[in-house]
Amino acid sequence: MTPTDAEIKRQVRTFYNRVGWKEISEGLYQNARYEDLRPIAQEYIHRCHQRVQRYIAPRGRFFLDAGSGPIQYPEYLEYSHGYEKRVCADISHTALIAARQRIGDHGLFAVSDVSRLPFAPEVFDGVVSLHTIHHLPEEDHVSAYLELARVLALGRRAAVVNGWDRSPLMDRLDTLKGWMKTRKGVAFKEMDAEEKEAGTHVVKHDARWLRQALDGRLNYRIRVWRTMSTNVMRFFIRPEWGGRYWLRLLFWLEDRFPRFFGERGLYPLVVIQK
């Protein structure tokens, strides 16, 4: 039997309350298992987090973080530095309690659903929603984008990051990885620490779906947040192969061709302009 939309949301909330936002060490959540936390990947990932900031106004009154989680990475704090208040909206109260510990009086906290935001139109001078819409029931994805646009002030921008269901660039590297593993066998397998993203409801789409869903309804552009999947990064980016330099080159290319990498890499950054 297919779960109803309400059941899906309940499952997602329970997952984040009990598992996703469980601290496995100080400031590090179970959720971070899906990220490449190795030192060699840090600079690239840090710069990708910083990239979000380029697309939103540096100052304003209210800043919305829709699906904020506990504001788990230090770079996230920078996004709302120039704002009076950061409004964290999430269906997980565990996430919001942790977010409140992190930002205290700078924050306002609302247990709420991204596809039905409990805010008046045009009240936010800046909006981000990071890695959240893919957890919604499929029918709610478009309403979530429209809701983010509805609450955004005129002349301002929202930055939305979600993964595509597949990436032509990552598919090629995955094929190469499979081939290398059959040739080198055990040695490569041991170094390929895969972490399957599992645990709760996730539905992702591709760039064509997004265009069909949003064209004519929103003023938006597809740009790149990050090309690399965690699994591909963990396999190919190694110190002995000059991994750090490959990532620097990739980041530079992403900046030069943001639409190309946004559409063909794994993680687009969808910029909504009001």
Ligand X SMILES: C[S@@+](CC[C@H](N)C(=O)[O-])C[C@H]1O[C@@H](n2cnc3c(N)ncnc32)[C@H](O)[C@@H]1O
Q: What is d(CA 200, CA 112) in angstroms, rounded to the nearest whole number?
A: 18
Residues 6 or more apart whose Cβ sits within 8 Å of residue 166? 206
| Helix, coil or strand: residue 250 | helix
Least distance in angstroms from the C-beta of 193 to ligand X: 20
Least distance in angstroms from the C-beta of 161 to ligand X: 8
Q: Is 68 in the site for ligand X (CB under 6 A)?
A: yes
- Six token digits for residue 239: 């110190």
Q: What is d(CA 133, CA 74) in angstroms, rounded to the nearest whole number?
A: 22
Q: Is 86 in the site for ligand X (CB under 6 A)?
A: no
Q: How far is CA 236 from CA 4, 43, 104, in A?
A: 40, 16, 40
Q: Is 80 in the site for ligand X (CB under 6 A)?
A: no
Least distance in angstroms from the C-beta of 27 to ligand X: 12
Task: Work out whether the CA dihedral 122, 89, 203, 192 comes out positive or negative.
Answer: positive
Q: Is 53 in the site for ligand X (CB under 6 A)?
A: no
Least distance in angstroms from the C-beta of 89 to ligand X: 6
DSSP codes of every residue in 205-223:
--HHHHHHHHTTT--EEEE
Do residues 162 and 267 touch, judged by C-beta distance below 8 A?
yes
Q: Tell me which residues in 131-190 interact with ligand X (CB under 6 A).
A: 131-132, 135-136
Number of residues that bind ligand X (CB under 6 A): 20
Q: Is 12 in the site for ligand X (CB under 6 A)?
A: yes
Phi-psi region of 222 (alpha: psi -120 to 50; beta: other; left: phi over 0): beta
Q: Is 98 in the site for ligand X (CB under 6 A)?
A: no
Q: Is 45 in the site for ligand X (CB under 6 A)?
A: no
Which of 63, 64, 86, 92 lies at the binding interface for ligand X (CB under 6 A)?
Answer: 92
Stretch that binds ligand X, among 124-132, 221-229, 237-245, 253-261 (CB under 6 A): 124-132
Which of 36, 113, 125, 147 lies at the binding interface for ligand X (CB under 6 A)?
Answer: 113
Could you list the residues that contact ligand X (CB under 6 A)?
Answer: 9, 12, 16, 31, 67-69, 72, 90-92, 95, 113-115, 130-132, 135-136
